[in-house]
Amino acid sequence: MAEGDRPEATIRIADEAVATVAAVAATGVEGVAGLSAGLVGDLSSALGRRGGPRGVRVEVGEREAAVDLYLVVRYGVRIPEVAHRVQQAVKKAVEEMTDLKVVEVNIHVQGVVFPPVQKPEREGSP
Q: How big is the CA angle at 36 (ends 33 and 42), to the nearest 5 degrees?
A: 165
Which tens digits make up the pLDDT trace of 14-47?
A: 999 999 999 999 999 999 999 998 655 455 444 5
Report the distance separating Cα 16 and Cα 86, nearest Å: 19
| Domain residue ranges of the chain, discontinuous segments joined by + | 15-113
Would you state the pLDDT for residue 51? 58
CATH topology of domain 15-113: Alpha-Beta Plaits (3.30.70)
Which tens digits make up the pLDDT trace of 62-91?
A: 899 999 999 999 999 999 999 999 999 999
Q: Are 71 and 55 in contact (CB under 8 A)?
A: yes
